[in-house]
Every structure is written in structure tokens, then in C-alpha cells.
Amino acid sequence: MDRDLLLLVGLVFLPLAFVALVSAWADRRRPWAALILLVIGGALVGWAQTTHPGGGYDWRTLPDLAAQTIGRYWRR
């Protein structure tokens, strides 16, 4: 699978984990969904960052990377 796509999916999961954590805290439940999203999102971002050629992504180019990746999959 495309490393750039995995990075973007991981970056989408991380804010969702925060929302799930706040929701669980407000309802006084255990934050299992938040924990699962945090682990999956962190693993995807970490794997994409460590396997990227050249030592990782430059976070300043993330908007361009997102536009290129979405455009690449939008055309299929």
C-alpha cells in the first residue's frame, strides 16, 4: 500500500482518537475506542515516517503531500 496514504490515514485517526477520548471521559466510560484509534494511528504514522526514503517526511510539505495523494487516488 502507498506509504503516503498510510500517513494520511494515520493523521486522520489521531484527532479521532482525541474526540473519542473526550467523549468517553464525558460519559464516564472506559476509552477503548480512543485507545484503539490512538494505537492504529500512531502505528501508521510511525511506520510511514520510518520507512520513508531519506529519513522521514518533512512536515512543512504535508499539505502538498496530501493534495498529491488525494489527487492520485481521486483519478482512479
For the stretch 22-66, pLDDT in tens is: 999 999 999 999 999 999 999 999 999 999 988 889 989 999 999
Identify the pLDDT of residue 67: 96
Per-residue pLDDT, averaged over 8-20, amounts to 97
Domain tally, the chain: 1
Q: 37 with 43: CB under 8 angstroms? A: no
What type of residue is 25? W
Residues 6+ apart with CB under 8 A from 29: none
Which residues does 23 contact at the CB level (< 8 Å), separation at least 6? 34
The reported pTM is 0.88
What radius of gyration do the chain's Cα atoms show? 15
Q: What is the dihedral of CA 45, 54, 73, 34, to 10 degrees?
A: 0
31: domain range? 3-74
